[in-house]
Structure 1
């Protein structure tokens, strides 16, 4: 590959990928300072495509602070906005490599807003390594189909890998032609890590006999067709199972779901998680989650974390929700609210004003226990706990429902009902929702 060809090919590939998968919001670049992300950021700059660089500090290397400074300096030199995020890596989360990866992707999702897209510098050699790693771990069709060029990573957010058809040699040609400097992570030589062992001990000898990257790319394209068929089957099964949007996440009919074959249940659940922006779980984890769903009592508060989402069960519905953020200390509540503005709530969710509510000095809090409420249209007050059960509010949300007070009196349970206090309180309560 000549350098002159590389200069034409890289901008064209990246622009074509962005046109194929457009995003209405901002474009971010996951910028580690390595060769691939450095070239990606530089090509985007050359193409005059507005982006923001984001560096994730894992705290795993003593050089991480220096790398962060390098990335900031490089970004500033291109007049590209730079953000640094610090994460904690849980080695219990699938090992060091997997834990770091999951922490990184969670950080990306947190910094993005709906409509945003993050671009990553994974290239064709990375794809080939991923293929063999997953093969050696016994992956199925979806795993062997490799890294997708595009996928959803949350509500209205997406991830794009525009360099999957490019090899590392071509990226090096661009970097040297433009005299770019990049970081070589010392961990890349640690053959105790699976990917490095595969890269140095296996891929190099294979490449002496076969065009590995091109052959894997061809295999991945073929496997993608099978993945698309499985996605179509999962979507059809989701609709058959009465898929519904809930206040938090989605739900489906457990009876219909249980009537599907095990293979179709696993396919449905895996694709459902991916549709919500989660990560594909391993087959063994899926099997265990489905076993727990089947064995749980009808109203048991089942909560199985799977692929960055939570599988739950309530009133013969199978629910899939995001992971709820921990509730803050009680000192963070109550909150002042004017009755006419949107109010962000601790632990997730927002309180939305209802058009007939008057501006006032309201107080908003969560349940403490023992509250009573007198819903409009009822002849007497009742225990709030009983009313929430009657309204079929999911158990995992009952400690998060916003209670609205005025002059010390409970005037509304957001999203559910207003209280019979005086004629100035509208019958329609303020709305309560999550943006997940």
Structure 2
């Protein structure tokens, strides 16, 4: 369409739409996710009308470089923003199709992931990113998730607002059907660019939009309203699930974030699934999609003591040890071979940071002995107390309750002197008094810190 960036003379923005755009969470700055299509262009004009001059307003255009008119769309977004006096950030992205999906649907999901990653990088504290999703998009999302086997959380649809990066994402047009927004944009004389891929029914959402939803609406004219009621009911149910999990986590989780196996065993199957779901989700880890959560829970809770049951996720695992379920992040890589710790330097060993620092007032002529960093090879011993007996490291690990999966990765520190070695520290669990406290014996303090993020 061809039209100026300013609304047509005599046009008045509908108050209902304006009220929704004005009703936003507290913010310091507004961004509009501008694709160049009708919905986002309309939202940009509404935001300028309602907020410009009161708070900084900007736009973000993600060029996925997938369509033949991607350059024209970017140019249109730049021109529209210039005419409105709105600064725009344009970010090209390279879309890599997910390995688990084939066909256009894989590209669709990969493009979404790419643009949301940019949004997260750009948003700062106090920023709101406004997106132009509307009621028809919500209906498509619900049907799409229903067909993918989503549970209550998926059928709740897209929330009006949620955290995104350091800021917040808000969808102020979610209550409005697209037909009304189209009429509003045309009456205002706005211009936009049609995405040619929107007509391609090889994309799942386009197939729902063009082939399925029109037939459903012809049979049930109030479909969008009915789906809205379903979405609200599912959202309320999801809130109750979260509330229940929060209460149970308060009872069954210790200060280290572990879950009591005995406590989880006492729950019903549905409660266990819900609790594990929210436990993983609140840790910031993506919840794995599993066909049978019940079987997974049984394996974790009831496997024999001689087994080490494990649930693998993206970037983490759930393990069981000594009556607790542990949420364990995937370990960082550590050197393939031993390294020597030099005085005054900081060394990264997997998730550990290590340094050897001089003690204040120590004799500067007292040179630090070389310290070799290694991992357990078998047969190591340590002397936990000065003058006390030596202990086998394997036995000491068991007594200290060190989980089996941590023992092979625990950094060991050996002081080297005249061809002989002495184990002087084990991770951040124990350090010989030669290298701890005031460290009068060595004149150097060994500092071992663990990155828990």
Q: Which has the larger radius of gyration?
A: 2
Contact 1:125–1:213 (CA<8 Å) still a contact in 2? yes
**Partners in 2 of 1:252 and 1:72 — Cα distance?**
50
Instruction: Specify the SS of the correspondent of 1:319.
Output: strand
Contact 2:335–2:349 (CA<8 Å) still a contact in 1? no
List gaps (5 residues or longer) in structure 1: none
Say whether 1:434 aligns with 2:452.
Answer: yes
Contact 2:356–2:444 (CA<8 Å) still a contact in 1? no
Equivalences for residues 258-407 of structure 1 within 5 A: 258-278=265-285, 284-294=291-301, 296-298=303-305, 300-306=307-313, 310-321=317-328, 324=330, 327=333, 330=336, 351=353, 367-370=374-377, 377=385, 379=388, 390-397=399-406
**Partners in 2 of 1:217 and 1:410 — Cα distance?**
65
Count of residues paired in the alignment:
415
TM-score of the superposition, structure 1-length normalised? 0.69
Say whether 1:145 aligns with 2:156.
Answer: yes
1:131-183 deviations in Å (ceiling 9; x for gaps): 223334454433322222344578x8765444322333455567664745446
Question: Which stretch shows the higher mean deviation, 288-297 or 35-44?
Answer: 35-44
TM-score of the superposition, structure 2-length normalised? 0.67
- Structure 1 pair 205/62, CA: closer, same or farther in 2 (3 Å)? closer
Say whether 1:240 aligns with 2:251.
Answer: yes
* Counterpart in the other structure of 2:258: 251
- Structure 1 pair 70/309, CA: closer, same or farther in 2 (3 Å)? farther
Say whether 1:191 aligns with 2:187.
Answer: no
Contact 1:141–1:226 (CA<8 Å) still a contact in 2? yes
- Structure 1 pair 201/315, CA: closer, same or farther in 2 (3 Å)? same
1:252-296 deviations in Å (ceiling 9; x for gaps): 111210221111111222233333345565562533532432454
* Counterpart in the other structure of 2:429: 416
List gaps (5 residues or longer) in structure 2: 1-9
* Counterpart in the other structure of 1:4: 12
Contact 1:36–1:122 (CA<8 Å) still a contact in 2? yes
Say whether 1:216 aligns with 2:224.
Answer: no
- Structure 1 pair 69/307, CA: closer, same or farther in 2 (3 Å)? same
1:50-82 deviations in Å (ceiling 9; x for gaps): 66848485x8x4659759966995798533455
1:186-224 deviations in Å (ceiling 9; x for gaps): 1x3332333222111121233345233333223322332
- Structure 1 pair 374/282, CA: closer, same or farther in 2 (3 Å)? closer
Instruction: Specify the SS of the correspondent of 1:163.
Output: coil
Say whether 1:123 aligns with 2:126.
Answer: no
Among candidates 167, 176, 196, match of residue 166 of structure 1: 176
Contact 2:414–2:423 (CA<8 Å) still a contact in 1? yes
- Structure 1 pair 210/310, CA: closer, same or farther in 2 (3 Å)? farther
**Partners in 1 of 2:334 and 2:342 — Cα distance?**
16
1:275-332 deviations in Å (ceiling 9; x for gaps): 334556556253353243245444755443458764332332223355x376277599
* Counterpart in the other structure of 2:217: 207
Instruction: Specify the SS of the correspondent of 1:327.
Output: coil
C-alpha RMSD over aligned residues: 5.3
**Partners in 2 of 1:50 and 1:363 — Cα distance?**
58
- Structure 1 pair 406/199, CA: closer, same or farther in 2 (3 Å)? farther
Contact 1:76–1:82 (CA<8 Å) still a contact in 2? no
Instruction: Specify the SS of the correspondent of 2:318.
Output: strand
